[in-house]
Structure 1
Amino acid sequence: MTGALAPTKPLTVADRCDRCGAQAYVRAVLVGGGDLLFCAHHGRKYTEALRANGADIQDETDRLNETPTAVVED
């Protein structure tokens, strides 16, 4: 994530990749307004070009390596 990115909501399971429909882990906030959402694969593919064109990138791909917390019910 770059320092210039305006505060945005974390991506959720409902956010889908604009290329393939998989769960989105990368948001590109475009200079002219609007944003694009990408899965980790498409995020890696397009991030450099988007940054070169001034987009701010919100990258949450580190969430793919998180271990889920077990929920214990009483």
Structure 2
Amino acid sequence: MTSLLSPEVTTSDAMTDRCDRCSAAAKLVVHLTSGGELSFCGHHANHHRDDILRVAGSVVLEEGFEWAGK
């Protein structure tokens, strides 16, 4: 039996990363439980929220961004 744990969610004043899918300004950075990180724009962060929640150890949101996974 596996249990889903919610990742730790924090905020950041400003992000300089770019989305790994489309190169738009990142609104969310995912630190993966397996190591590494991925950055997403607002559109892709909300579109992939279920997958992000499944693999995230922690999530950093840009201040003011309303993420559907929160």
TM-score by length of structure 1 reads 0.61
Residue 3 to residue 19, structure 1, CA distance change in 2 (3 Å): closer
- Listed as ranges, the gaps of 5+ residues in structure 2 are 1-5
Inter-partner Cα distance in structure 2 for 1:59 and 1:29: 11
Q: Which has the larger radius of gyration?
A: 1
Contact 2:12 2:62 (8 Å CA) reproduced: no
Contact 1:47 1:57 (8 Å CA) reproduced: no
TM-score by length of structure 2 reads 0.64
Q: Which runs of 4+ in 1 moved over 3 A?
A: 2-5, 7-11
Contact 2:8 2:59 (8 Å CA) reproduced: no
Higher relative contact order (CA 8 A, sep 6+): 2
Larger proportion of helix? 1
Q: Which residue in 2 is equivalent to 1:58?
A: 60
Inter-partner Cα distance in structure 2 for 1:22 and 1:42: 10
- Listed as ranges, the gaps of 5+ residues in structure 1 are 65-74
